[in-house]
Amino acid sequence: MTHLNIQQTLNMIIAVCDRVIESEPLLTEVDRQIGDGDHGIGMSEGMKKAKTALLEKASFETVNEVFKLTGMTMLNSMGGASGVIFGSLFLGGVKNLEPSSTLDASGFRLLLRGALDAVKKRGKAEVGDKTMVDALEPAVLAMEASDTDNLVALLEVASEAAQEGVENSKKYVAKFGKAQYLGERAVGHQDAGATSVSIIFKAMHDYLLSVA
Amino acid sequence: MKKIINSKENIVSEMMDGYLSAYKRYFERVPGQQSAFFFKGRRKNKVSIVIGGGSGHEPLFIGFAGKGLADAVVSGNIFAAPNPQSIFETAKAVDEGQGVLFLYGCYAGDNMNFDMAEELCEMEDIRTGHVRVWDDCASAPKERIESRRGIAGDIYVIKVAGAAADAGLSFEEVLRITEKARDNINTIGLATSPGSIPGLNKPTFELGEDEIEFGMGLHGEPGIERTKMQPAEKLVKRMYQELSKEMELTKGQEVAILVNGLGSTTLLELNIVYHDLDKLMKADGLIVHDAEIKNYCTCQEMGGFSITILKLDEELKRYYNAPCHSPYYAREAIEA
């Protein structure tokens, strides 16, 4: 499989929404270890709102609009750090991508490179700061390092890199958000934002597997 | 955990409906925004003060708009900052062409959302500025002051800013005086038991039955020391010493004091705290200009309290002394 049409892109994002919504208890528990425990409910509410907005609009001219509506809905319904950061995850790369009715491997790379740049600019975090960048950056780099045009293969390497990033986040001291006040005590716990990124990549990969 | 709610999805919106219906003579919802409102009786042709943050800390923030206080409040979800669009719409609703000053606690989410809102305001030529409150001296060392959290000190910053804006001062002056208030406030908290996230049946942290934690944050962010429960006198002494060192309090310094309950600690206990605090301050020769003892900045049923000290000079006193009124915070003018 080398590209998604608009309907498939929409279905993939809805599958992402469903997966994050199902993961609310896990994300709450992960965040409660070193944060204030609101990440699960925030992500789940944002994704519920995004899903509703996507299903209501139903008809899209370009794949860009699917990502834009998802990001805008998250940004303006979630609030908190997650709203800005996860809104930027979907919004940040939209402008990099020529408006298109299909999404191919180079489109995925452009979208997610733009997302990474936007998230880092907004949150000022780098890999090692115990944030979602710990999962997002390796995933984007893995996609860029791969020259495959097969979407399943592309998202497989991205998803694996993101999961590895979540594991790595356990080693770090937090520099941002509420976990920063823990210092060394945050070591050993994975970052909730990185966990969400990994869940999102895994859901995209699973969707692609299911339709390939 | 028994919580008097309906569905977890509607907690904040139903709370806002209740508050705004009951106090409709004071407040009106910002058009199109479920969780933002402005004070109907606000003075016109002045700098506008917009405050906000996550819900769940009531009476902060909803209880601090009114006469001599903020002009508008924009609330987020439980413990989560409001979104950029809602902040922008709120600023637009109260802008008088004199500029909008945003006041909020220094947390990553608040900082990012308010920054984005300021960018949206800029596109519509609304002048803006912000003061991030970072009074919690237990949350980071002084060298990293911008990593410190905002807690009960928010109340005095809002109080002073509201009075300075009401006095008709320029944007630069309101900003300068508000920053000065912020720079002269510190708070330290103590937790005896956890709060909860409404809608989730889990405590925000775990603390042994006989344990307390100094400096613990409002959302359960770990503090500086966990020890066995001690008599009020000892707890207060430890907290006062931290503040005194941090603020370099010296004999003859005029101060205003806020003893704030975190949710489930009773006024009986809070008044005992003040009894002990007063003795320590007297022994050090501090001049207590004014003090208040109540719940101002809470985390649901969290147990514990915080002590806030505002160092006053003649200028800050002028704005501190001004009267103010909201359904949850009202005070007569203090005669100079």
For the stretch A72-117, pLDDT in tens is 999 998 878 889 999 999 999 998 999 999 999 999 999 999 999 9
Mean of all residue pLDDT scores within chain A: 94
Tokens standing for A31?
Answer: 């965040």
Which residue of chain B is at minimal alpha-carbon distance from A182?
B222
User: Cα(A64)–Cα(A52) distance, rounded to whole angstroms?
Assistant: 18
pLDDT value at residue A179: 83
Strand B36-39 to B27-29 pairing: antiparallel
The dihedrals phi and psi of A5, each to the nearest 5 degrees, come to -85, 180
Mean of all residue pLDDT scores within chain B: 96
pLDDT value at residue B171: 98
Tell whether the model's pLDDT for residue B202 goes beyond 90. Answer: no
User: Cα(B106)–Cα(B100) distance, rounded to whole angstroms?
Assistant: 18
Tokens standing for A56?
Answer: 């209501």
Residue A153 three-state SS: helix
What is the pTM for the complete model shown? Answer: 0.87
Tell whether the model's pLDDT for residue A64 goes beyond 90. Answer: yes
pLDDT value at residue B330: 96
Contact across the interface for B83 and A77, Cβ inside 8 Å: yes
Tell whether the model's pLDDT for residue B336 goes beyond 80. Answer: no
How far the first Cα of chain A sits from its last, in Å, is 6
Give the pLDDT mean for B240-262: 98
Burial of A121 (0-12, 13-18, 19+ CB in 10 A): exposed
Smallest Cβ–Cβ distance between B113 and the set A45, A84, A181 belongs to A84
Tell whether the model's pLDDT for residue A144 goes beyond 90. Answer: yes
> B12-183 architecture in CATH?
3-Layer(aba) Sandwich (3.40)
Position A144: which residue type? E
Give the pLDDT mean for B255-269: 98
In chain B, residues under CATH classification 3.40.50.10440 are 12-183
pLDDT value at residue A166: 98
Q: B93 pLDDT band (50/70/90 cuts)?
A: very high
Tell whether the model's pLDDT for residue A43 goes beyond 80. Answer: yes
Contact across the interface for B80 and A78, Cβ inside 8 Å: yes
pLDDT value at residue A85: 94
Secondary element (H or E) of residue A190: none
pLDDT tens sequence across B28-44: 999 999 999 999 999 99
Q: B223 pLDDT band (50/70/90 cuts)?
A: confident
> A3-211 architecture in CATH?
Alpha Horseshoe (1.25)
The set of residues, in sequence order, having a beta carbon less than 8 Å from that of A102 and lying 6+ positions away, is A3, A4, A5, A6, A63
Give the pLDDT mean for A120-148: 96
Tell me whether 0.85 is exceeded by the ipTM. no
pLDDT value at residue B295: 98
Topology at the third CATH level for domain B185-312: Hypothetical Protein Tm841; Chain: A;domain 3 (3.30.1180)
Give the pLDDT mean for B4-20: 95
pLDDT value at residue A82: 86
Catalytic site residue B130?
Answer: no
pLDDT value at residue B23: 98
Q: Mean pLDDT lowest for which of A30-34, B72-76, B272-276?
A: A30-34
Question: B49-84 burial, b if ≥16 CB within 10 A, otherwise e?
Answer: bbbbbbbbbbbbbbbbbbbbbbbbbbbbbbbbbbbb
Q: B221 pLDDT band (50/70/90 cuts)?
A: confident
What percent of chain A stands above pLDDT 90?
A: 82
pLDDT value at residue A99: 95
From the CA of A1, how many Å to the nearest CA of chain B? 38
Give me the residue spans of the domains in chain A: 3-211
State the best of B34, B197, B216 to mutate against chain A, taking most chain A CBs within 10 Å.
Answer: B197
Q: Which residues in chain B have their CB less than 8 angstroms from residue A75's CB?
A: 83-85
pLDDT value at residue B222: 80
Tell whether the model's pLDDT for residue B325 goes beyond 80. Answer: yes
In chain B, residues under CATH classification 3.30.1180.20 are 185-312
Tell whether the model's pLDDT for residue B265 goes beyond 80. Answer: yes
Tell whether the model's pLDDT for residue A70 goes beyond 80. Answer: yes
Q: Mean pLDDT lowest for which of B153-167, B208-222, B306-320?
A: B208-222
Tell whether the model's pLDDT for residue A41 goes beyond 90. Answer: no
Q: B320 pLDDT band (50/70/90 cuts)?
A: very high
Catalytic site residue B289?
Answer: no
Residue B330: count other Cβ atoms within 10 Å of its Cβ.
14
Q: Which residues in chain A have their CB less than 8 angstroms from residue B107's CB?
A: 81, 178
pLDDT value at residue B291: 98
Tell whether the model's pLDDT for residue A177 goes beyond 80. Answer: no
pLDDT value at residue B316: 98
Smallest Cβ–Cβ distance between B79 and the set A36, A85, A181 belongs to A36
